[in-house]
Amino acid sequence: MNSNDIQKRLGNNVKQIRKSKNLTQFQLAEKAGIPEETVKNIELSRCWTSDKNLAKITSALDIDIHRLFLPIQSSITNDSENITQLKKVIAEDLKSYIDTKLNELLK
């Protein structure tokens, strides 16, 4: 997965989540306190946005930021190789997080 794929996933996820909450681009922009053009550019994968804008968007959508980058169920195909790879990456990240937290607790 390259940076263009990630940018497209971000745009698609923002759009799908926004629509699932029955918000227009304008309403999301207002709620997030960012220009409507920024929402449009993100959804169309025209450019990367700042971490501050992503934080504002996730707050306005009332979601965790990771949801913007993970595949949404409707976008996952039956490509078992990609699904297996995704599950492996998620499992490794969770294991790393748990190991870090356990080490902190045991110190």
Beta carbons of 69 and 6 less than 8 angstroms apart = yes
Are 54 and 90 part of one and the same domain? no
**49 DSSP 8-state letter:** -
Tell me what pLDDT residue 34 has: 97
Does 52 lie in the same domain as 15? yes
Model confidence pLDDT, tens digit, residues 42-68: 999 998 889 999 999 999 999 988 888
Q: Are residues 57 and 86 in the same domain?
A: no
Task: Specify whether the CB–CB gap between 11 and 54 falls below 8 A.
Answer: no
Domain limits for position 50 = 1-76
67 lies in the same domain as 92:
no
Q: What is the pTM of this model?
A: 0.66
- For 4-49, write each residue's pLDDT tens digit: 888 899 999 999 999 999 999 999 999 999 999 999 999 999 988 8
| Lookup: tokens for 54 | 């992503």
Both 64 and 103 in one domain: the answer is no
Q: Is the pLDDT of residue 3 over 90?
A: no
Angle between helix 36-43 and helix 51-61 axes, rounded to 10 deg: 90
For residue 6, the domain's CATH number is 1.10.260.40
Token pair in block for residue 88: 């492996």
Residues 30, 62, single domain; the answer is: yes
pLDDT for the residue numbered 33: 97
